């Protein structure tokens, strides 16, 4: 460059170069560095202004001055890129320092799901009957009228159907109002072998919801079919169940009742777990709490299941795990079970 010393444009370029680098050195943010670029390298920037002057020079001076200006331009562009990279790096370093995560801080515990109270009771019931040789049989929630009513000894228009307010899908298809249709499926699948099954599952009834009635609820039914099965077997099984579920000294009584699919039919009470039979508000001063319904399988139902009632007999029972849970834990409203209120659900698991 020495040979151009003295040319006023070259001096200008050299001053500009020094001055631009000096000002760039103070810049620490991206907005300012871009302003710097526009000021020096932009279309109306300082360097461009000086380069316009080249046109006024004598022709023999232009190439050399042009070269100097190109060198200055390249140097400033390179300095700009370096500065931008430095600023970004500095910003990153600052962010990393400011937002550093303290991995030694205690974590927020993840909230765990729980087993629904009805499911817990279902499992307890299943475990008790499983010890007595009953196997779980799963069955569908949408049933034909045939299985939900007819094969259970309730032909169309039979008045006993009024015991179940039914959700109809269409004239022939319903949401099961009890788990009994599943028992028919089990009998038809396994006959003429003897069976001992329990059938847990959701049932549906078209009912006004109150503290004692829900539109959906669980039921667990049990069924034993074989030769020489008597009501004494039923009583033994249910006493065992009551004692394992509610305590060793529970007393159980059978009361005459009626179901279309059992004959004879009974309702089963145990002595009140609150007052031990003395009489209190829970048992309405009777000393007894109803826990389930049961009976000997009606001969026609056995026949519908594929068994010859002259050879086979059986017992069946049905209970509501929500009711069992309410009795066991003193819950006074069945609506808690399906309202998804964690304050309820978290207390029972
Ligand atoms: C109740 C009463 C009961 C049955 C269910 C049944 C099933 C077949 C044949 C005979 Cl396939 N019986 N089930 C019998 C008596 C009572 O349930 O109060 N449940 C909550």
Q: How far is the CA of 173 from the centre of ligand 1 (A)?
A: 20
Q: Whose CA is nearest to atom 3 of ligand 1?
A: 318
Show the DSSP H helices in the chain as ranges.
Answer: 8-25, 30-41, 46-52, 62-98, 117-131, 145-148, 180-190, 231-246, 299-304, 321-329, 342-345
Give CA separation, 180 vs 154, 184, 270, in Å: 12, 7, 23
Give CA separation, 344 vs 116, 230, 334, 341, 349, in Å: 10, 41, 11, 6, 10
> Mean pLDDT over residues 197-221, rounded?
94
Please say if the pLDDT value at position 1 is more than 60. Answer: no
Euclidean distance between CA atoms 43 and 58, whole angstroms: 24
- Structure tokens of 48? 């461009």
Among 56-60, 106-110, 139-143, top mean pLDDT goes to: 139-143
Q: What is the pLDDT of residue 272?
A: 94
Please say if the pLDDT value at position 3 is more than 70. Answer: no
Q: How far is the CA of 246 from the centre of ligand 1 (A)?
A: 21
Within the chain, what is the greatest distance between any pair of CA atoms?
A: 131
Q: What is the pLDDT of residue 5?
A: 58
* Contact (CB, 8 A) for 345 and 116: yes
Identify any residues that bridge with 288 across adjacent strands, giving them in sequence order.
271
Please say if the pLDDT value at position 286 is more than 50. Answer: yes
Please say if the pLDDT value at position 149 is more than 90. Answer: yes
Estimate to the nearest angstrom the gap between the alpha carbon of 85 and the chain centroid.
49
Q: How far is the CA of 342 from the centre of ligand 1 (A)?
A: 33
Q: Whose CA is nearest to atom 7 of ligand 1?
A: 180
Please say if the pLDDT value at position 113 is more than 90. Answer: no
Burial label, 193 (beta-carbon count in 10 A; 0-12, 13-18, 19+): exposed
* Contact (CB, 8 A) for 183 and 147: no
Euclidean distance between CA atoms 233 and 47, whole angstroms: 107
Q: Which of 221, 291, 298, 300, when mutated, tests ligand 1's pocket best, judged by the most ligand atoms within 8 Å of its CB?
A: 221
In this structure, the residues whose C-beta lies within 6 A of any atom of ligand 1 are 180, 183-184, 219, 221, 223, 259, 261-262, 292-295, 297, 301, 316-320
Q: Which atom of ligand 1 is nearest to the CA of 187?
A: 11
Q: Which atom of ligand 1 is nearest to the CA of 318?
A: 17
Res. 177 pLDDT band, cuts 50 70 90:
very high
Q: Whose CA is nearest to atom 15 of ligand 1?
A: 294
Q: How far is the CA of 263 from the centre of ligand 1 (A)?
A: 11
Please say if the pLDDT value at position 164 is more than 90. Answer: no
Among 11-15, 28-32, 294-298, top mean pLDDT goes to: 294-298
Phi-psi label, residue 6: left if phi above 0, alpha if psi -120 to 50, beta otherwise = left
Q: How far is the CA of 237 from the centre of ligand 1 (A)?
A: 15
**Share above pLDDT 90 across residues of the chain, in percent, rounded to a whole number:** 73
Res. 90 pLDDT band, cuts 50 70 90:
very high
Please say if the pLDDT value at position 134 is more than 80. Answer: yes
Please say if the pLDDT value at position 205 is more than 70. Answer: yes
Res. 147 pLDDT band, cuts 50 70 90:
very high
Please say if the pLDDT value at position 315 is more than 80. Answer: yes
Q: How far is the CA of 115 from the centre of ligand 1 (A)?
A: 27
Q: How far is the CA of 178 from the centre of ligand 1 (A)?
A: 8
Q: Whose CA is nearest to atom 5 of ligand 1?
A: 318
Q: What angle do CA 300, 301, 306 make, to 5 degrees?
A: 95
Q: Which of 122, 163, 180, when mutated, tests ligand 1's pocket best, judged by the most ligand atoms within 8 Å of its CB?
A: 180
- Count the alpha carbons within 13 Å of 151 in the hemisphere toward its beta carbon: 22
Average pLDDT, the chain: 92
Q: Pick from 25, 13, 43, 16: which is nearest to 80 by CA?
A: 25
- Output b/e per residue, 135-170; b: 16+ Cβ within 10 A: eebebeeebbbebbbbbbbbeeeeeebeebebbeee
Euclidean distance between CA atoms 12 and 224, whole angstroms: 109
Q: What is the pLDDT of residue 57?
A: 85
Q: How far is the CA of 317 from the centre of ligand 1 (A)?
A: 5
Q: Pick from 214, 203, 199: which is nearest to 331 by CA?
A: 214
Q: How far is the CA of 163 from the centre of ligand 1 (A)?
A: 13
């Amino acid at each position: 460059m020495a040979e151009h010393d003295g040319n006023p444009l070259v001096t200008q370029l050299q001053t500009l170069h020094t001055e631009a680098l000096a000002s760039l050195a103070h810049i620490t943010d991206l907005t300012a560095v871009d302003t710097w670029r526009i000021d020096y390298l932009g279309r109306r920037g300082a360097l461009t202004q000086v380069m316009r002057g080249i046109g006024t020079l004598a022709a023999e001076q232009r190439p050399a001055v042009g070269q100097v200006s190109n060198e200055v331009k390249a140097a400033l562009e390179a300095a700009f890129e370096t500065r931008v990279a430095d600023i970004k790096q500095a910003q990153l370093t600052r962010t990393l320092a400011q937002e550093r995560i303290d991995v030694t801080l205690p974590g927020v515990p993840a909230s765990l799901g729980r087993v629904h109270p009805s499911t817990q009771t279902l499992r307890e019931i299943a475990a008790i009957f499983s010890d007595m040789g009953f196997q779980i049989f799963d069955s569908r929630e949408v049933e034909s009228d045939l299985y939900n009513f007819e094969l259970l000894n309730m032909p169309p228009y039979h008045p006993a159907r009024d015991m179940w307010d039914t959700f109809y899908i269409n004239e022939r298809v319903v949401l099961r109002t009890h788990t009994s249709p599943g028992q028919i499926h089990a009998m038809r699948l396994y006959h003429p072998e003897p069976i001992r099954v329990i059938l847990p599952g959701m049932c549906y009834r078209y009912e006004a919801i109150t503290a004692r009635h829900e539109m959906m609820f669980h039921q667990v039914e049990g069924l034993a079919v074989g030769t020489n099965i008597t009501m004494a077997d039923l009583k033994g099984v249910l006493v065992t169940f009551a004692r394992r579920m509610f305590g060793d000294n529970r007393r159980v009584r059978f009361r005459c009742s009626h179901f279309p699919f059992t004959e004879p039919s009974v309702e089963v009470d145990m002595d009140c777990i609150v007052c031990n039979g003395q009489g209190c508000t829970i048992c309405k001063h009777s000393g007894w709490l109803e826990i389930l319904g049961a009976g000997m399988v009606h001969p026609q139902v056995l026949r519908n299941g594929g068994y010859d009632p002259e050879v086979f007999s059986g017992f069946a029972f049905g209970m509501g795990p929500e009711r069992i849970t309410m009795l066991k834990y003193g819950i006074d409203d069945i609506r808690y079970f399906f309202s998804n209120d964690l304050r309820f659900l978290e207390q029972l698991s």
